[in-house]
Structure 1
Amino acid sequence: MLIFAIDKKTYVCNMFFDRKDLSNAQLLQLHRSLLYPRLIEEKMLILLRQGKISKWFSGIGQEAIAVGATMAMQQDEWIMPLHRNLGVFTTRQMPLRKLFKQWQGEQDGYSKGRERSFHFGSSDHYICGMISHLGPQLAVADGVALAYQLAEQNKAVLAFTGEGGTSEGDFHEALNIAAVWDLPVIFLVENNGYALSTPTNEQYRCVHLVDKAKGYGMEGVRIDGNNILAVYDTIKGVREYCITYQKPYLVECVTFRMRGHEEASGTHYVPSSLFELWQQKDPVNNFEQYLQEQEIITQEGLQAVRDEIKTQIEEELAAAEKEKSYFVIDTKLELDEVYYPHQQSEELLNVDENDASEKRFIDAIKEGLIQSMKEHEKLIIMGQDIAEYGGAFKVTEGLVNIFGKKRIRNTPICESGVVGAALGLALEGYKSVVEMQFADFVTMAFNQIVNNLAKIHYRWGQPADVVVRMPTGGGMGAGPFHSQSNEAWFAHVPGLKIVYPASPRDAKGLLIAAINDPNPVLFFEHKALYRSLTERVPNAFYEVEIGKARLVQSGEDVSIITYGMGVIWAQQYAEAHPEVDVEILDLRSLLPLDYDAIRNTTARTGRVLILHEDTLTGGIGAEIAAWIGEHCFNMLDAPVMRCASLDTPVPFNKALEKNFMAVARLEKCMDELLAY
């Protein structure tokens, strides 16, 4: 017990160490593991001042949490750390020389210079790298835990967040999913009092963050995060609980950040008395004092360990400097590694067209799902009301009777959490299909898709084997929030693939291809086509090539480049105007685009109209028009024209919606183009 006074107030600081059945050797190992990141940090702060690293998020004063929690987990259990958890990386034995290269942005660091500090992961060490948005880490842990559960493995997963992160919606979604699905997840909150500069009294109104556990129907505990034995023993026990009872658990670790949020931000907003108080609770100093009191090690022994680790650090940094090589910028490599390498199977692309039967658009999608579920035992389908109810549009109706509720999973209404869980499944080698009830609702999962799924392979080589099904489009009088065409939002994001079929045959083949592809794919399916479109569809398990357009019909007068419902509109125009020799190109894939097909149709007709249901400004048509103008200008006999929907939200009234749609202006646009 420590008793001291600050500002005429007396403080009592208890740091009771209970070794339980730990041997002296284990205690000394805990000490070494605790001291190692502290000494690394002290060195990094020197190098930061010397300009040898550009930024540093210090965990000084919080090391006991990262180290103790990591040592309580098994080596092959995933951990989702944040930027102040150096102890996770060092306790998992990641070489300092390579970590140093990572912090310097070197090419032979863990992210090849593409990411900063601790925004990276390593599947070899079962560490999933964070993104700056903090909260999304938690839902990824849900997916890993689900994978453990499905594989009947006695494992748990550990996810870190800070007290500031608990204010994010992702915190709620992740804890709610874990509770509802009974997942073995340890949610660890490092409550260090400040989210950058915002104190806890401006973050939440509950007395303690652990009080939130009850609201989710889970157990929780609040502990001294500066006491390494308390952290180690608690997480060890909580891990056993999570595995035994297949339940999540919330752990609040009370601690303090002795440096700024990052070094440039400073600490001027923190009362100096708090630093004096928490200095007395330093996790390293207190544990070393305990080891001496128990005669486990002497002061001389402690100094010897410190000197040995300092020497090791210097040797590792010297080795990193010696191994430093010239940074080679390879543009082709940068572009190639946006996606996980994948080659579609020639066997699946060459299907027997004679063995086919008439299928509606919706039936083709359903058959693609069923055949994929049979092909991939580790494929999971998730979404709102998709099990017994069969989904909002009945695409998954009956699937739960075939595959059971473990694989056809109803989800709470939390799109971000579910997409994050899908990424967590991918970490353990699972595939997943997530159904958005309406494409409009994907806004709730936007961050997970564009920042987590899309970038993870480029950042640290981890594939995101996830398909997001997106029932899209208007024409049904459903108003502004159930009718949007939002494919262009995502076409700007490197790392995603976007497909948008316009026929039952393509719907099945592209969906199977998307599921087989280990990269994240957004699969847009127009709601108005579900039951209005029928054609012969091969019965076999087959693929349609992603990134390959389809020439719907040849022509010499004008090319209509389109996709989705636009294909139907173009065909209707061609039938109504036999005097015009119309060529129709169905893009099918919007990312990547088939530029060869775009070039070829432009060369054949010299006149191009780009037609899409999406609004005009910033649509896919703008990108294609710009590309044609840049690369095919000498082939054109007229300016490239766009026919798109009005730049307004989608109106509810059917007459207004009809006027909104691009097809309302198709005749006029074609007349202008042909008359040029």
Structure 2
Amino acid sequence: MLKPRMIEEKMLILLRQGKISKWFSGIGQEAISVGVTASLLKEEYILPMHRNLGVFTGRDIPLYRLFSQWQGKESGFTKGRDRSFHFGTQEFNIVGMISHLGPQLGVADGIALAHKLRNEQNVCAVFTGEGATSEGDFHEALNVASVWELPVIFCVENNGYGLSTPTSEQFRCENIADKGIGYGMESHIIDGNNILEVYTKVSELAEDIRNNPRPVLLEFKTFRMRGHEEASGTKYVPQELMDTWALKDPLSNYRNFLKNEGLLSEEEDDKLKLLIKAEIESHLQKAFAEEPVEADESRELDDVYQSFKDEVVEAGSEKENIRLIDAISQGLKQSMERYDNLVIMGQDVAEYGGVFKITEGFVEAFGRERVRNTPICESAIVSASMGLSINKCKAVMEMQFADFVSSGFNPIVNYLAKVHYRWDENADVVIRMPCGAGVQAGPFHSQTNEAWFTKTPGLKVVYPAFPADAKGLLISAINDPNPVLFFEHKALYRSVYGDVPTNYYTLPIGKASLLREGNDITIISYGAGVHWALETLDNNPDINADLIDLRSLQPLDTEAIYRSVRKTGKAIILQEDTMFGGIASDISALIMENCFEHLDAAVKRVASMDTPVPFSKALEDQFLPKGRFEKELKDLLEY
């Protein structure tokens, strides 16, 4: 406890000197971080918060690396891309937080699930504060852990305030531990300022959980003696409360206990302080001496995704004529056979086979451990998928409908997308997205919301239109260690047939397909739009057009687009998504910027109306761009 306390005191001085930019103090809470870390095995994962310096020192991370991290230097853990404790390290089995606190609770679920699938007797500990227990992710993660009997220790540091909001304005139950009852979960209240109580209780529980896997909720009663971060101050805290908790300081009380028991002398105490002070100073000098990170544009761009060269597996000559839905199921099944660490998760995906029956029969083939029904909690399952990836598994999550992804949006765009850029961790996760209109499903089951994700660096977005493409691209997406949103148009599931190779094969993500060749105009589309364009061309055999099926929206095959437009001189982009902010807008801008001198007319976009997706057939037909595309195409040809 002394080391993190002394580091913090030094950091507060450096903060005032302007040598670090921000500090979140854990002074007064060291017993929790130190006690929990000491109770776990070195190979067991800990997911700390920004007030848990004792976790990092307890895992013996060289101090200069921590100091370099806080100064944004190369020897830190994020190459200067993130600050303070927003990092993880597989070397020390620590997974750091993101500012959106809740998702890491679900990540712990995924890590623990991987241990359980491999029959490893390991515990995972995850920290959060009492304020974050108000987030939906807290409920979702605890519920999943309980239902799946995952070996997770949920450590809630109840320090009285979420920034300035007191617990009386956060929840109405007497204790956070009381919430465990609602999850059928064992829970305990621990004096978070008593290192002996923390270490003894957590050690006993950890050993028991290793042999009897289950989640446990621990509420550590403690207090934050500094501001939420130093700029916040503590003026909102009554002075008598500060005085009361000052008497409960875990470090001074334990020091007095050791001295009274004859286990620590003044000389030994002084010697410890001198040794730690010398260690801090020498490591600080090493960190200060390190040159600042140099901006390198190519490295920044290269690190958004994990570099990956997929094994090329050629399609075989044996084929069968099957539907899009069958091809997706086949790709999933063959991937499950290839990877015994691949887990499929989603609502009703087990015995029921998913609402579209894509995983029907998978439980019989692979077992319920690997084909898992989930509670209705998209955010926690996205986060659990991330945890599986961290702990050496692959995950495919089925969003029952792409519309429901809004309930899991945060961990996708803020965790999965950024994790490799931040600390070189991969997110080996595929999220299947049944999407699209044309089936009269109304506003909440019909969206094609790919543009929500093509905007976000770090995500890959795939959107096939044909069965053979769907199978090969899904297999490649599962092979890819980066997070992939895999869009599957519901109206195409059972209406589109194609000859699909029966073997396991891959197709490259980021390569478009040229379906028709012509010299007069370039048509660019994807998903259902490709079939609308094909129908239009079939009905107008005099139109001489290149038809590009993008197949992948991120990465985007810009070279295929530019090559065609430079040949034809005209371009029209057809998307099912609504017009404003859709990917057609970016493609149009890219063409204007890179092919302007080759254009004979302005680039044309054709998209759905800027309304929610309506239910009735007449309104839905009006909403979709299919009926307007032919006129827009002919108008552009005649320009």
Shorter chain as normaliser: what TM range? over 0.9
**In structure 1, what is the Cα distance between the partners aligned to 2:256 and 2:92?**
32
Q: From 373, 386, 394, give the equivalent of 1:410.
A: 373
Residues 215-234 of structure 1: pairs in structure 2 closer than 5 A: 215-234=182-201
2:553 matched to which residue of 1? 590
**In structure 2, what is the Cα distance between the partners aligned to 1:456 and 1:298?**
46
SS in structure 2 opposite 1:161? strand
**In structure 2, what is the Cα distance between the partners aligned to 1:647 and 1:238?**
55
1:635-668 deviation per Cα after TM superposition (whole angstroms, max 9, x unaligned): 1111100000000000011110000001121022
1:617 matched to which residue of 2? 580
1:292 matched to which residue of 2? 259
Residues 536-551 of structure 1: pairs in structure 2 closer than 5 A: 536-551=499-514
2:325 is the alignment partner of 1:372: no
**In structure 1, what is the Cα distance between the partners aligned to 2:391 and 2:458?**
20
In the alignment, is the contact (CA less than 8 A) between 1:241 and 1:247 conserved in 2? no
In the alignment, is the contact (CA less than 8 A) between 1:223 and 1:252 conserved in 2? yes
2:231 is the alignment partner of 1:264: yes
Distance 1:326 1:189, change over 3 A: closer
1:466 matched to which residue of 2? 429
Q: From 240, 251, 262, give the equivalent of 2:207.
A: 240
Residues 586-665 of structure 1: pairs in structure 2 closer than 5 A: 586-665=549-628
1:45-96 deviation per Cα after TM superposition (whole angstroms, max 9, x unaligned): 0000000000000000000000100010000101110000000011001111
**In structure 1, what is the Cα distance between the partners aligned to 2:350 and 2:267?**
65
In the alignment, is the contact (CA less than 8 A) between 1:62 and 1:255 conserved in 2? yes
**In structure 2, what is the Cα distance between the partners aligned to 1:117 and 1:327?**
16
1:344 matched to which residue of 2? 310
2:75 matched to which residue of 1? 108
1:549 deviates by 0.3
2:6 is the alignment partner of 1:39: yes
1:157 matched to which residue of 2? 124
In the alignment, is the contact (CA less than 8 A) between 2:109 and 2:145 conserved in 1? yes
1:671 deviates by 2.1
In the alignment, is the contact (CA less than 8 A) between 2:437 and 2:447 conserved in 1? yes
Q: From 267, 277, 280, give the equivalent of 1:313.
A: 280
2:395 is the alignment partner of 1:428: no
Task: In structure 1, list runs of 5 or more residues that go unmatched.
Answer: 1-33
1:331 matched to which residue of 2? 297
In the alignment, is the contact (CA less than 8 A) between 1:224 and 1:230 conserved in 2? yes
1:273-299 deviation per Cα after TM superposition (whole angstroms, max 9, x unaligned): 111001100000000000001000112
SS in structure 1 opposite 2:495? coil
In the alignment, is the contact (CA less than 8 A) between 2:104 and 2:126 conserved in 1? yes
**In structure 2, what is the Cα distance between the partners aligned to 1:336 and 1:287?**
49
1:629 deviates by 0.3
SS in structure 2 opposite 1:467? strand
SS in structure 2 opposite 1:632? helix
**In structure 1, what is the Cα distance between the partners aligned to 2:557 and 2:350?**
36
SS in structure 1 opposite 2:534? helix
1:246 deviates by 1.2
Paired amino acid for 1:632: C
In the alignment, is the contact (CA less than 8 A) between 2:608 and 2:624 conserved in 1? yes
Residues 131-146 of structure 1: pairs in structure 2 closer than 5 A: 131-146=98-113
**In structure 1, what is the Cα distance between the partners aligned to 2:632 and 2:14?**
63
1:107 deviates by 2.5
2:164 is the alignment partner of 1:197: yes
Paired amino acid for 1:520: P
Paired amino acid for 1:336: D
1:241 deviates by 2.6
Q: RMSD of the TM alignment (CA)?
A: 0.7
In the alignment, is the contact (CA less than 8 A) between 1:383 and 1:409 conserved in 2? yes
Paired amino acid for 1:675: E
TM-score norm. by structure 2 comes to: 0.99
Q: How many residue pairs get matched?
A: 639
1:97 deviates by 0.5
**In structure 2, what is the Cα distance between the partners aligned to 1:35 and 1:618?**
53
SS in structure 2 opposite 1:334? helix
1:593 deviates by 0.2
Paired amino acid for 1:420: S
Paired amino acid for 2:283: E
Residues 73-84 of structure 1: pairs in structure 2 closer than 5 A: 73-84=40-51
1:238 deviates by 1.5
1:362 matched to which residue of 2? 325
Q: From 81, 85, 93, give the equivalent of 2:60.
A: 93
1:207 deviates by 0.5
In the alignment, is the contact (CA less than 8 A) between 2:72 and 2:293 conserved in 1? no
1:533 deviates by 0.7
Paired amino acid for 1:604: K
2:413 is the alignment partner of 1:450: yes
Paired amino acid for 2:267: E
2:521 is the alignment partner of 1:558: yes
**In structure 1, what is the Cα distance between the partners aligned to 2:292 and 2:582?**
41
TM-score norm. by structure 1 comes to: 0.94
Paired amino acid for 1:153: E
2:249 matched to which residue of 1? 282
1:559 deviates by 1.1
Paired amino acid for 1:576: N
1:13 matched to which residue of 2? none
1:416-447 deviation per Cα after TM superposition (whole angstroms, max 9, x unaligned): 00010010001111001000000000001100
**In structure 2, what is the Cα distance between the partners aligned to 1:319 and 1:619?**
49
1:9 matched to which residue of 2? none
2:48 is the alignment partner of 1:50: no
**In structure 2, what is the Cα distance between the partners aligned to 1:493 and 1:129?**
21
**In structure 2, what is the Cα distance between the partners aligned to 1:489 and 1:656?**
24
**In structure 1, what is the Cα distance between the partners aligned to 2:310 and 2:159?**
49
In the alignment, is the contact (CA less than 8 A) between 2:37 and 2:58 conserved in 1? yes
Paired amino acid for 1:561: I
1:11 matched to which residue of 2? none
Paired amino acid for 1:527: K
1:457 deviates by 0.5
SS in structure 1 opposite 2:275? helix
In the alignment, is the contact (CA less than 8 A) between 1:75 and 1:92 conserved in 2? yes
Percent of pairs with identical residues: 57
SS in structure 2 opposite 1:290? helix
**In structure 2, what is the Cα distance between the partners aligned to 1:611 and 1:137?**
39
**In structure 1, what is the Cα distance between the partners aligned to 2:134 and 2:209?**
24
Distance 1:244 1:326, change over 3 A: closer
In the alignment, is the contact (CA less than 8 A) between 2:383 and 2:411 conserved in 1? yes
Paired amino acid for 1:351: A
**In structure 1, what is the Cα distance between the partners aligned to 2:525 and 2:190?**
59
1:326 deviates by 4.2
1:297-342 deviation per Cα after TM superposition (whole angstroms, max 9, x unaligned): 11222111111111111111112223x1243211001000111110
SS in structure 1 opposite 2:503? coil
Task: In structure 2, list runs of 5 or more residues that go unmatched.
Answer: none
